[in-house]
């Protein structure tokens, strides 16, 4: 309705302007035609003005006879000399033309005026030279037929304009309603789509028009929302499941121990395995906390210069005991001069997760190599293990939360399924990435790529 009102008001304003211009132009045209015919008439009149021997002005009729009263019918005619009327023809309706300033020689002036009784006339005056000097000839004609024609046109417009306005209003209203109807149904449909029905989409009639584009954007947002909800649901379900497993283990071990009378050695074993599960729980809860804080963007990076080889050595040292338990060798090598800018603790966490996996998934007596290098502005940290590798179909998924190739094995090794997700987030937060390569043969190589000092701009682009 508002759209229609606005549209009709605008249209009315434009039409009024158009009508006013047209009317003014029409009036001007009518006057021009009148002036043209006055021009012709005044020339005829001038041709018939003669001077009597006693100096009086008179008008000759076409047949040459003097006729003092002859002037075109319906016309006013006056001849002025030295500011006085020397000839006055008939005055229709008994109205006299008022006096007016005469034109200078060689020019003629046109004027519209209202006579005393209200008749509107058009007067043309020009200088006409006779033997005894210049005279001003004034010829006038009533403008009433012209105004009549003009008002006829104005009244036609006055009737036509409201009709045009009504037609435009009704058409505009119908068109606006039709154009906006899909918006209404889209809104109703969107209202029906709730968190439980996020898989539903808006129907799009024409994907190329504005409404279609709006619908597409809305559907894309819905798809994103659905994915996020799904991820959240999966994450919550997985997290609950992961938390329940060690809790169940603790409960069962405790219940069994309570039912069985046992010696101190047995109870120590029970407490040991309960603590092991509790440790696993702590590790899991820590990882979950890190993930949720990372998701919320609440981890502020403590930026500083980090020497990458030092970082690699420090991380490997933290896992030395684990590797020794499996008689594995961990070798750290590379260029000591390579430095990056970042949060040392967070980057160490990422690298520890990679080396921890390498240790966990490499067999006894295996070897792990951590290599530090640089390539095209990026520091590279490769963690190469000698484990069983990751089958190709799992490679793209291992960075997903709680994804494990072999659940039982991972759990047995104390894995939470979050190590690689955390590492990927940590490296991503520094403008880098992690790549996984499993050459044919044993083992995998996880490579961390981090923008080197001085090339931070490169990473941001």
Q: Which residues bind ligand ADP (CB under 6 A)?
A: 353, 357-358, 361, 385, 387, 390, 398, 403-406, 410, 415-421, 444
Per the DSSP assignment, residues forming a β-bridge with 90 are: none
Please say which residue, 128 or 404, places its beta carbon nearer to ligand ADP. 404
Nearest-approach distance from CB 181 to ligand ADP, in angstroms:
51
Please say which residue, 244 or 268, places its beta carbon nearer to ligand ADP. 244
Torsion of CA 320, 324, 329, 331, to 10 degrees: 10
Please say which residue, 320 or 406, places its beta carbon nearer to ligand ADP. 406
Please say which residue, 415 or 431, places its beta carbon nearer to ligand ADP. 415
Please say which residue, 58 or 411, places its beta carbon nearer to ligand ADP. 411
Nearest-approach distance from CB 359 to ligand ADP, in angstroms:
9
Please say which residue, 421 or 447, places its beta carbon nearer to ligand ADP. 421
Nearest-approach distance from CB 298 to ligand ADP, in angstroms:
21
Nearest-approach distance from CB 361 to ligand ADP, in angstroms:
3
Please say which residue, 121 or 398, places its beta carbon nearer to ligand ADP. 398
**CB neighbours of 146 closer than 8 A, spacing ≥ 6?**
27, 30, 31, 34, 122
Nearest-approach distance from CB 204 to ligand ADP, in angstroms:
40
Please say which residue, 215 or 432, places its beta carbon nearer to ligand ADP. 432
Please say which residue, 70 or 385, places its beta carbon nearer to ligand ADP. 385
Please say which residue, 316 or 444, places its beta carbon nearer to ligand ADP. 444
Nearest-approach distance from CB 421 to ligand ADP, in angstroms:
6
Measured between alpha carbons, how far is 159 from 163 in angstroms, rounded to an integer?
7
Measured between alpha carbons, how far is 284 from 416 in angstroms, rounded to an integer?
6
Nearest-approach distance from CB 436 to ligand ADP, in angstroms:
8
Nearest-approach distance from CB 404 to ligand ADP, in angstroms:
3
């Amino acid at each position: 309705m508002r759209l229609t009102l606005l549209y009709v008001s605008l249209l009315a304003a434009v039409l009024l302007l158009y009508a006013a211009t047209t009317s003014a132009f029409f009036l001007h045209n009518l006057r021009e035609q009148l002036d043209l015919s006055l021009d012709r008439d005044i020339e005829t009149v001038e041709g018939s003005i003669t001077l009597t021997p006693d100096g009086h002005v008179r008008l000759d009729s076409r047949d040459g006879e003097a006729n003092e009263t002859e002037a075109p019918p319906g016309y006013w005619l006056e001849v002025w000399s030295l500011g006085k009327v020397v000839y006055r023809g008939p005055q229709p309706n008994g109205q006299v033309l008022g006096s007016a300033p005469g034109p200078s020689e060689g020019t003629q002036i046109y004027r519209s005026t209202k006579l005393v009784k209200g008749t509107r006339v058009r007067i043309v005056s020009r200088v006409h030279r006779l033997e005894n000097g210049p005279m001003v000839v004034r010829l006038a004609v009533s403008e009433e037929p012209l105004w009549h024609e003009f008002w006829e046109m104005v009244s036609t417009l006055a009737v036509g304009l409201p009709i045009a306005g009504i037609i435009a209003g009704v058409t505009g209203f119908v068109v606006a309603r039709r154009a906006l109807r899909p918006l209404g149904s889209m809104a109703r449909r969107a209202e029906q789509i709730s968190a439980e029905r996020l898989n539903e989409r808006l129907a799009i009639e024409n994907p190329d028009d504005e409404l279609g584009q709006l619908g597409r954007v809305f559907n894309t947002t819905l798809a994103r929302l659905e994915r996020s909800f799904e991820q959240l649901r999966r994450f919550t379900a997985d997290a609950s499941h992961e938390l329940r497993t060690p809790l169940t283990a603790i409960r069962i071990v405790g219940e069994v121990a309570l039912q069985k009378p046992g010696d101190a050695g047995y109870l120590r074993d029970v407490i040991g395995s309960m603590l092991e599960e509790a440790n696993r729980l702590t590790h899991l809860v820590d990882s979950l906390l890190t993930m949720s804080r990372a998701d919320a963007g609440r981890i502020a990076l403590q930026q500083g210069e980090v020497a990458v080889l030092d970082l690699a050595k420090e991380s490997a040292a933290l896992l030395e005991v684990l590797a020794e338990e499996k008689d594995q060798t961990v070798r750290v090598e590379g260029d000591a001069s390579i430095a990056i800018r970042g949060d040392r603790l967070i980057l160490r966490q990422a690298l520890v997760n990679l080396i921890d996996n390498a240790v966990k998934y490499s067999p006894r007596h295996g070897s792990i190599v951590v290599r530090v290098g640089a390539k095209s502005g990026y520091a590279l940290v490769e963690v190469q293990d000698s484990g069983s590798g990751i089958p190709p179909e799992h490679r793209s998924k291992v960075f997903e939360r709680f994804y494990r190739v072999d659940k039982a094995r991972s759990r047995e090794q104390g894995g939470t399924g979050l190590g690689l997700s955390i590492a990927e987030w940590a490296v991503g937060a520094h403008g880098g990435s992690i790549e996984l390569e499993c050459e044919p043969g044993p083992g995998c190589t996880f490579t961390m790529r981090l923008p080197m000092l001085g090339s931070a701009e490169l990473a941001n682009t």
